[in-house]
Chain A
Amino acid sequence: EAGVVQSPRYKIIEKKQPVAFWCNPISGHNTLYWYLQNLGQGPELLIRYENEEAVDDSQLPKDRFSAERLKGVDSTLKIQPAELGDSAVYLCASSLGTPNTGELFFGEGSRLTVL
């Protein structure tokens, strides 16, 4: 089993440019998460989906960040325009559902560098 797949693994862009990250969760996992991990910090939740519904997006900066999960499978996280402070690792995770007993399966992450 491939696990949670994310792309791209690395992205370098200039500030004010747009960027998009893609995530394919484990087959059968209804719940999908996007986390932000800054250097030296733990993951912080950006958005959680139950199937195609965003059930918790309270931490998503909606002025520049957007996400979608069409058909309740793959998901895309977009930043437009990117700022210097957005440089971080963007982690996608999935779980069978909620309550999920806390076991999230993480992807390898997408490392964003904004110049």
Chain B
Amino acid sequence: AQRVTQPEKLLSVFKGAPVELKCNYSYSGSPELFWYVQYSRQRLQLLLRHISRESIKGFTADLNKGETSFHLKKPFAQEEDSAMYYCALEGSNYKLTFGKGTLLTVNP
């Protein structure tokens, strides 16, 4: 079975502060991990994927297989980063499993 855990339902930081959204996964094989984001009144969209090793909007995420984690980080949060963030795992049969999400609020 594959599972994604996002331990924080809500996360609030001030503008300019570092932010880290936690994601842990459970999967016996070699996973593909992703972060999706949903801004207010917009549809769910892909933010980044671990295989690309890319930085999108200043966000990065490193896959740590030892700790089975894929935390999303940004050194200086901006107000426009306020959104719902979902961690997702693609495991067996190309099935994409989402976590419950973390609502990030960046205060001015």
- When A56-B93, A102-B88 are in contact, do A43 and B98 touch as well, CB less than 8 Å? yes
- When A102-B32, A102-B34 are in contact, do A44 and B90 touch as well, CB less than 8 Å? no
Find chain A residues with CB under 8 A from B94 CB: 48, 98-100
> Interface size for chain A: under 10, 10 to 19, 20 to 34, or 35 or more residues?
20 to 34
A101 to B43, CA, bound (A): 19
- The answer to whether A109 and B43 have CB atoms under 8 Å apart is yes
Find chain A residues with CB under 8 A from B97 CB: 45
Find chain A residues with CB under 8 A from B51 CB: 101
- Interface residue count on the B side (C-beta < 8 Å): 22
Helix, strand, loop or mixed for chain B's interface? strand
Find chain B residues with CB under 8 A from A41 CB: 100-101
Find chain B residues with CB under 8 A from A44 CB: 98
Q: Give the Cβ gap from A70 to chain B, nearest Cβ, in Å.
A: 23
Find chain B residues with CB under 8 A from A102 CB: 32, 34, 46, 49, 88, 90, 96
Q: Does A81 contact B (CB under 8 A)?
A: no
Find chain B residues with CB under 8 A from A99 CB: 94
Q: Does A91 contact B (CB under 8 A)?
A: yes
The 7 lowest CB-CB distance pairs between A and B, nearest first, are A42-B98, A106-B44, A98-B94, A102-B34, A106-B43, A103-B46, A42-B100
Identify 18 residue pairs between A and B in the complex whose beta-carbon atoms are under 8 Å apart, listed by A's number: A4-B43, A41-B101, A42-B86, A42-B88, A42-B100, A44-B98, A45-B96, A48-B94, A55-B93, A98-B94, A99-B94, A102-B32, A102-B46, A102-B96, A103-B46, A103-B49, A104-B96, A106-B45
List residues of B whose CB falls within 8 A of some A CB. Answer: 4, 9, 32, 34, 43-46, 49, 51, 86, 88, 90, 93-101
List residues of A whose CB falls within 8 A of some B CB. Answer: 3-4, 33, 40-45, 48, 55-56, 91, 93, 98-109
